[in-house]
Structure 1
Amino acid sequence: MKYLYLTFFSLLGMAGSAQTLTQNIRGTLSDADSKQPLVGATVFVAGSVPVKGTVTDQSGRFLLEQIPLGRTRLELRLVGYEQRQVSNIVVDAGREVVLDLVMQEATTQLNEVVVTATENKGEAQNDMALLSGRSISLDETKRYAGGFNDPAMILSNFAGVTNNSTGSNEVIVRGNSPKYVQWRLEGVEITNPNHFADQNSVGGGVSALNNNLLATSDFYTGAFSAEYGDVLSGVYDVKLRSGNNQQFQSILGLGILGADVTLEGPFRKDYQGSFLANYRYSTIGLLSDIGLVDIEGGAPTFQDGAFKLSLPTKKAGSFSLFGLGGLSKVYLADFNPGTAPIPGNQSARETIRKDYDKRSFLINAGLSHRLQISKNGSLLTLLSFSGNGINEDIDQFDVIKIRDDAGQWLRDSLENKRPNYKSRLNNTNYRASITYNNKLNVRNRIEAGAKFAYNNFSYAQSFLDDSTGAPQVLSDFKEGIATLRNFVSWKYRAGNTVTIVVGLHNMNVLYNKKSTLEPRLAMRWNAGSRGIVNAGYGLHSTMDRVHNYFAKVKQPNGSYTEPNRNLGLLKAHHFVAGYEYRLTENLRIKAEGYYQHLYNLPVENSDTSSYATINEGQDFRYVELVNKGKGRNYGIELTIERFFDKNYYFLINSSLYQSKYTPLDGKERNTAYADNYLVNVLAGKEFSNLGRKHNKTISLNAKVFFGGGKKYIPLLRNSAGQVTSEPESGTIWDYDKAYENKIDDIYQVTFSASYKVNKRKTTRELFLNIDNITNRRSRISEYYDDSKSGSVGYFTQFGIFPNLMYRIYL
């Protein structure tokens, strides 16, 4: 039999009768273009005998009852529409399956004929985006090793995407800085959704997003469709699923990272609305709070929550209220730069001690409203508020060595406490947008919209200038910046083989009157039944991080100026071409090449400087900038992917690429993110129907990663290779050799496993994930440390890290 049904037996009282455990699958079905509900479509379980199926009602809703547990596949059929298959639907005892599905109208209309479309697994859900994008399902976020409960970490499994292997979940796309990645939630731009984030939003330690709430989301790596603006690198369009609108359900979880609870259900029985909410508190913080563990200097703690309220109406359209928030803090006593990157002077001296204290928050809330204004036309309105804050303090002490009469060290005495670095950063953002969508006919669809944002910033930063012993102001401003973005897109389907999307994006910064017109073009050609050719172009622009605009630059006479207030937009031409071939329904080979020409990059206004803001992370500098830098990213990506079927999958991808920039000195250099190559090998196997009652499932997954090391700025050395850095005078780094070389390549093996048991009313799961199982500690960069041999310390790859979680679905 093509599909295996999981059959479970339990004793019911004295009768001892056996019963097959089942669950319901419910959902809605709508037109992919017009968003109108599809009435009269058949939805049935593929391969079921007798056939288990149903027909959608007047609202496009369907219900399949008593579906056996395990993985199943649905087939969707409607005259005049392309037949669709939906695979790998996981049916568990502990929760109903709720789906929001769409179908594409066929361009060739033949009565009583079903047009079959190949199930293009992995393709982005947004059909205006024809290339450099893919969907990421909830099943994948749980299955792939290394992406344990973190939607950001899952991205590094795909071609062209990596992180810096330091434990941070930053997203580096095709050699671009992670600060140019745009995060979206339910179609709204949000703050960096990570705890312990920095001011450049390049990453963090733990994501505040929880995959218990996620629906299938889209990720794009270049040549974005016209609706996406103010972005150069990548777009992660995260979607939240709707809660069950028929019955109450819950998920309880306890793990090394955190303990969490997820609740969902209907508001009332006669209403189709629902709620979905999650709250999590860090486990180590919880244990510390109740006194079970005592961590010197204090435990890193965090808490977060998210929700979605689905509120449909009969005549006024459908409303949705959603939100995401989080708090985090960490205190590190006697901090060494090799522990983690922090702001300020990256050096360590035996005579100086530094204590680091960081507190941060993030909040995002939004309201969406979709109104059907005609048979094929709809309006989507979004209102949102977001904010984040980061407070950082580094206190510095002089260390006095107390020794006995024989000169043996007894203890350290700390004196002369003073602030080494102080930062208070707060951002609040208000956004409103409206998008009009109209399916003109089966071949033509248009989409147009406008997006307004008002950003309010309050920044105050200073650090201790070692050369003078006095504090130096980095930034001190309170400013509001408004932007207005407009776009229009037209999609044309020339039969069932060629699709073209043409668009135009308009970006306006009202603060300093900077604007652009950005054309976008994408084409897809279905070359036969198995091949797909695509190509596209886009002009993209973005503002740099706001601190660069209002940086205070110290002048030789001791005064400060703000020379960067009129900085322009960073811009990039993206060119992409690719080919995909489906060997079978579940096996594909995909190749994609790209070239990105970056210009108007902010670089230091000096013909002897190597500094450009595209390289800044924690090592930012506040200098006079001009938009005269340029860069180029180019490469080729190859993917061989077998989607999950018959209880196994594998994913192999590799990327060869270059990432270059040229500052005012005219020398083309590697960027800080020019790793040059990366290889991912993932595989997994699921063993189902285990145990005496056939109600247990074991999943095993592994990932092997190879990557070129990150380029770095070396310490100053003489001709003999001896370090000559002088932290006291602020001369530490050899900027003439910035990003010329790497130290080590990166190698990492990750393993994960899960054990699932289905009972009559519940499902229980135990997850184990072990990052860097070989504990390889490749060197990534170096810093000055006079306590180490040669005064060189190394910032290394994050070591072995096991993560265990237990969940129960009720």
Structure 2
Amino acid sequence: MSYENALANVLKDPNLIYQERNDAIIISSKPKQDSEETKQKILTQTIRGQVIDEESKLPLIGVTVMIEDSSPPIGATTNIDGNFRIEKVPVGRVNLQLSYIGYEQKIIPNIVVNSAKVVVLNLTLHEYTTKMDEVTVVAQMDKGSPINDMALVDARSISPEESNRYAGPFNDPTRILSNYAGIATTQDGSNDIIVRGNSPKYVQWRLEGVQITNPNHFANQSGIGTGGISALNNNMLATSDFYTSAFPAEYGDVLSGVYDIKLRSGNNERFEGVFGVGIMGTDITLEGPLKKGYAGSYLINYRYSTITLLSTLGLLDRSGATNFQDGAFKIMLPSDKLGTFSIFGLGGFSGFDLENISGIDAVLSPGFSGQLSSLSKDHSTRSYLFNTGINHSIYLSKKSYLNTSVIYSTDGINDNVQARYNPPAQAEDSPYQYFEGDVNKSTYRGAMTFNYKFNNRHKLQAGFKYAYFSYDYFQQLQKDTLSTPRLLADFDEQMSTLRNFISWKFQAFSNVTFITGIHQMNDFYNQNRTLEPRFAMDWRLTPNIDLTLGYGKHSTMESAHNYFAKVPNDNGTLTEPNRNLGLLKADHYTLAIEKRFRPDLKAKLGIYYQWLYDLPVAKDSSYYATINERIDYEYVHLVNEGEGKNYGVELTIEKFFNNSYYFLVNMSLFQSKYKTLENKWRNTQYNSEYIANILAGKEFLNLGRKDNQALTINLKVFVGGGRKIIPLRRDDQGQLNVDPANDQYWDYDKAYESSLDDLHQIDFSMSYKWNRPKTTHEFYLNIYDITEAKGRISEYYDDSEPGNISYITQVGLFPNLMYKVYF
């Protein structure tokens, strides 16, 4: 409905009211003469925001924004700045319908309206490529479509509402990824992201459009992306994008997946806040305008480990527990002539102290994949991360705009492991320094992206991204009191990269869209350069069926410790043979077909193939390859002569949250293989071969005496193959055949041939929310692994156990209780 049509409707219908305000045109029905008792029961809130063109990012004037199926109708139209405001929207969940002449209609589903918090939205519309006749157009729900308009294949958006609703993720916006097809975790308590059989180290994390550090607490010395708890807080996030292959041309230095996380803007009209306390952490989020009459805003969050807080207050006596704290902020600074500036940041500290640990050595330290069962260890670790940056966006004309970013990132970890013989070999045996590691990295980044929309068919995007890395590493390991410490790494080095890209979006027909591009990678340390073509196509075969096709060549640098590893040569002298290590490379192919059965129900079937080459593998022709490493990495001589392949099929059936319920069913069948100089194809340790998820939830509204309460129940069922392992040595009869005296435990000839158990897990969550005139209260309970499955993930030698074998298993049952108040 256009601006003129909206006015015409008002003139014709005596039951509608027209109001013109500074920021919007409001169309609503004349109120009914309800009793005072009825008026007191109805709690309402305001929905406001801005609607812009999807590609040019310019504000759209006169867009009709309506609450779907509202009776009487409630809505507004956008003003000269594209802003709209809809007041007195009843609390609960609503869908917004957007319509504008010359643009595709869109439905924004499942918007949560609470009594204590204004809903602020940033919305986009896509322009038609052909002139439309006067026909009835059915709007499609904008659910799961990527925010990035230059992404057509293997990309989806993830909303904070989904992170809150889905069972299992502990309110952790990274764990939610494992609910989607082709993505898994290691099931050992960490929040690793394994995309289509690729190592978690190859996931790229981005914040506000710029690459950042691994945003997880309790990282390890390898820095490959593992951690236990994300420093990201769901209260801060806006809808974000995740990519699984054939990435748009702007993304480089990545092989596996890209999580492009967005922070929302604070409310620039009034002060609001959220306070939460739970088992995982106690946090507070505050937001509001910078000053009255100015469109700028602030948003800030701080979280502290609840267990640590209780211990500090003397309310809990803890021993060996973990602790963490983190914070984030975003400040919006719009101007009339200089564009919009935003300043953002994310930081955190974490650590733990563990005593009397024995068993598998790889859990504690890098450099060796063996174990010394005769030792017990005390492990103390401290880690930190910090990212801060400035973004600037400015319109250069009605068809072009420029984005510029500058960011500083740093992270590090300090490990100290003391060991002692257990039992002592001699009376005078005392603890000694078993492992010592101090790893620090700082990165300076600058990026600029130019966007130009020629017309409704053609858009051009081009830019560059520069990064300067500074590394300071020291790692040393001493296996026993008789041997001398082995220096694993000791370097203070700098590297830099420059990545350039150009991408062209062409809508050839109203139902066919192409995106082509080139990404160039420049590694200045080893003078490596690549040209990486990218291609994607979306063909709408019918109004309800889409076919997508994509290809991309990708490359990335290895983790820094591999370049500067201290490796002994034949005479025992330490060398650094990997300084000239080249880039890892991959070709991604993807094909998918999607069918929409109705606006809130769709199914998608996809296949993919990834060919990986120039992979760093051990020069000694052993099983070892960096693509397969996790915390059990080694310092060996590497050469870029390995190969790999990941391929599979994925099926997803998704019913979006609508009419108070949803469900999501997906299954992935895949293989993940690699080959070293031994010329033998092996499974990667991430080749679990299949993953299946079933998620469902139901919301019960209008509960309580005042109809102001709601109960939501969610359930998740997961089944999947186990992680492939290096087994303990056994004889031909299958009996354990380890040799602790000579440190021989593992059968490397059978590396990753099999796993121990298939894994399964059931998670349950529920939330109870009640709205009051000025506050909203919510209790949230998540029970992780309610059946306490504890499937076996890996094995290790332990002479204190029957059969001398112990196992690392799934975490088991873990409840997370949380209370939030919105004010």
Deviations 1:385-443 (A, max 9, x none): 001010011110123469xxxxxxxxx98932111111100000000000000111000
Q: Which residue of 2 aligns with 1:3?
A: none
Residue in structure 1 matched with residue 239 of structure 2 by the alignment: 216
Helix, strand or coil for the counterpart of 1:470?
coil
Alignment partner of 2:358 out of 325, 330, 336: 336
Secondary structure class of the residue paired with 2:438: strand
User: Which residue of 619, 626, 632 corresponds with 1:605?
Assistant: 619
Distance 2:752 2:742 in 1: 23
- Please say if residues 81 and 115 of structure 1, whose CA atoms lie closer than 8 Å, have aligned partners that are also in contact: no
Matched, 1:654 2:674: no
* 1:243-293: CA deviation from partner (whole Å, max 9, x where unpaired): 111110000000001000000011112111111110000001111112222
8 A Cα contact 1:386 1:428, kept in partner: yes
* Deviation larger for 728-737 or 30-39: 728-737
Describe the superposition over 1:612-654 as per-residue Cα deviations: whole angstroms up to 9, x where unpaired: 0111111110000000000100000000110011100000000
The SS at the match of 2:191 is coil
Q: Secondary structure at the match of 1:154?
A: helix
Residue of structure 1 in register with 2:314 after alignment? 291
Deviations 1:132-182 (A, max 9, x none): 111111111111101221011000000000001001000000000010000
CA distance in 2, matches of 1:496, 1:478: 55
Alignment partner of 1:705 out of 718, 725, 728: 718
Asked whether the 8 Å contact 2:465–2:500 carries over to 1, the reply is yes
Structure 1 partner of 2:581? 567
Residue 704 of structure 1: how far off its partner (Å): 0.5
Q: Give the SS at the match of 2:234.
A: coil
**Deviations 1:82-105, CA, capped at 9 Å, x for gaps:** 111111111100100000001111
Shift of 1:36: 0.7
Distance 1:419 1:216, change over 3 A: same
Q: Verify the 8 A CA contact 1:347 1:783 in the aligned structure 2.
A: no
Query: How far is the alpha carbon of 1:681 from its aligned partner?
Result: 0.5
Maintained 8 Å contact 2:216/2:225: no
Q: CA 1:252–1:476 in 2, change beyond 3 Å: closer, same or farther?
A: same
Q: Distance in 2 between matches of 1:439 and 1:777?
A: 54
Q: Kindly tell me: are residues 690 and 391 of structure 1, through their superposed partners in 2, closer, same or farther at Cα, counting changes over 3 Å?
A: same
Cα offset for 1:784?
1.8
Query: For residues 400-549 of structure 1, what are the structure 2 equivalents within 5 Å?
Result: 400=423, 415-466=429-480, 469-549=483-563
- Residues 1:19 and 1:687: Cα distance change in structure 2 (over 3 Å): closer
**In structure 2, what is the equivalent of residue 326 of structure 1?**
348
Aligned to 1:304: 326
Q: What letter matches 1:477 in structure 2?
A: F
Of stretches 468-477 and 204-213 in structure 1, the one that deviates more from structure 2 is 468-477
Pick the aligned partner of 2:785 from 772, 777, 798.
772
Higher mean C-alpha deviation, range 52-61 or range 584-593:
52-61
Determine if the alignment matches structure 1 residue 246 to structure 2 residue 269. Answer: yes
Q: CA deviation at 1:72?
A: 0.9
Residues 742-772 of structure 1 deviation map (CA, whole Å, 9 limit, x = unaligned):
0000010000000001011110000000111
Superposition map of 1:136-215 within 5 A: 136-198=158-220, 199-215=222-238
Distance 1:11 1:751 in 2: 41
Matched, 1:555 2:569: yes
- CA pair 22-480 structure 1, distance change in 2 beyond 3 A: same
What is the CA-CA distance between 1:237 and the residue it aligns to?
0.6
Residues paired across the two proteins, number: 789
Is it true that 1:270 corresponds to 2:312 in the alignment?
no
| Structure 2: distance between partners of 1:541 and 1:727 | 41
Counterpart CA distance in 2 for 1:685 and 1:693 is 21
Looking at structure 2, the residues matched to 346 and 283 of structure 1 have their Cα atoms a distance apart, in angstroms, of 35
Counterpart CA distance in 1 for 2:142 and 2:442 is 40
Mean CA deviation greater in 447-456 or 71-80:
71-80
Counterpart amino acid of residue 491 in structure 1:
K
Distance in 2 between the 1:548 and 1:17 partners? 68
Hey, what's the Cα distance between the residues in 1 that align with 2:135 and 2:84? 22
**TM-score with structure 1 length normalisation?**
0.95
Aligned 8 A contact 1:346 1:784 in 2: no
**Matching residue of 2:405:** 382
Task: Report if aligned partners of 2:714, 2:764 keep a CA contact under 8 Å in 1.
Answer: yes
Report the alpha carbon displacement of residue 799 of structure 1 after superposing the two structures with TM.
1.0
Q: Identity across aligned pairs (percent)?
A: 52
Q: Structure 1's 534 and 413: CA in aligned 2 closer, same or farther, altered over 3 A? A: farther
Relative to structure 1, is the Cα distance of residues 785 and 806 closer, same or farther in structure 2, using a 3 angstrom cutoff?
same
Question: Secondary structure in 2 aligned to 1:242?
Answer: coil
Tell me, what secondary structure is at the counterpart of 1:200?
coil
**Residue aligning to 1:739:** 752
Structure 1 residues 17 and 166, CA gap change in structure 2 (3 angstroms): closer
In the alignment, which residue of structure 2 is the partner of 1:409? Answer: none
337 and 314 in structure 1: CA distance in 2 versus 1, 3 angstrom threshold:
farther
What's the secondary structure of 2:112's corresponding residue? strand
Q: 1:738 to 1:313 in 2, by over 3 A?
A: same
Structure 1 residues 282 and 11: alpha-carbon distance in aligned structure 2, compared to 1, 3 A threshold = farther
SS in 2 for 1:288: helix
Letter in 2 for 1:759: R
The alpha-carbon deviation at position 718 of structure 1 amounts to: 2.3
Do 1:539 and 1:573's aligned partners in 2 also have CA atoms closer than 8 Å? yes
The correspondence of residues 14-93 of structure 1 with structure 2, limited to 5 A, is: 18-93=40-115
User: How far does residue 731 in structure 1 lie from its aligned partner after superposition?
Assistant: 2.5
- The one-letter amino acid of 1:138's match is P
- The one-letter code of the counterpart of 1:484 is L
Alpha-carbon separation, structure 1, partners of 2:345 and 2:714: 32
Q: Is the 8 A contact 2:360 2:372 kept in 1?
A: no
Structure 1's unaligned 5+ residue stretches are: 1-6, 403-411
Q: Which amino acid aligns with 1:455?
A: F
Cα distance in structure 2, aligned partners of 1:558 and 1:353: 29
On the 8 A contact 1:784/1:792 being kept in 2, the answer is yes
Range that drifts further, 330-339 or 352-361: 330-339
Distance (Å, rounded) in 2 between the aligned partners of 1:400 and 1:312: 66
Amino acid of the structure 2 residue aligned with 1:783? Y
Deviation at 1:342, TM superposition (A): 2.6
* Helix, strand or coil at the partner of 1:88: strand
RMSD between superposed Cα atoms in Å: 2.0
Please give the alpha-carbon distance, in whole angstroms, between the structure 1 residues aligned to 2:741 and 2:100. Answer: 75
Correspondence for 1:782: 795
Equivalent position of 1:406 in the other structure: none
Cα 1:261–1:740 change in 2 (3 A) is same
Aligned counterparts of 1:351 and 1:725: Cα–Cα separation in 2 = 14
User: How much does 1:27 deviate?
Assistant: 0.6
**SS at the partner of 2:270?**
coil
Q: 2:393 aligns with which of 365, 370, 381?
A: 370
Matched AA of 1:260: D
Structure 2: gaps of 5 or more residues: 1-30
Which of 595, 598, 602 is 1:588 aligned to?
Answer: 602
Describe the shift of the 1:110–1:702 C-alpha distance in structure 2 as closer, same or farther (beyond 3 A): closer
Q: State yes or no: 1:398 paired with 2:411.
A: no
**CA–CA distance in structure 1, aligned partners of residues 493 and 136 of structure 2:** 59
What SS does the aligned partner of 1:304 have? Answer: strand
CA drift at 1:715 = 1.5
Counterpart position of 1:405: none
Deviation of 1:490 after TM superposition, in Å, equals 0.3
CA distance 1:49–1:548, change in 2 (3 Å): same
Per the TM alignment, residue 719 of structure 1 is displaced from its structure 2 partner at its CA by 2.3
* Paired amino acid for 2:683: N
Q: What amino acid is the match of 1:795?
A: I
Q: Deviations over 1:435-491 (max 9, x none)?
A: 000111000000001000000000000111459622101100000000000000000
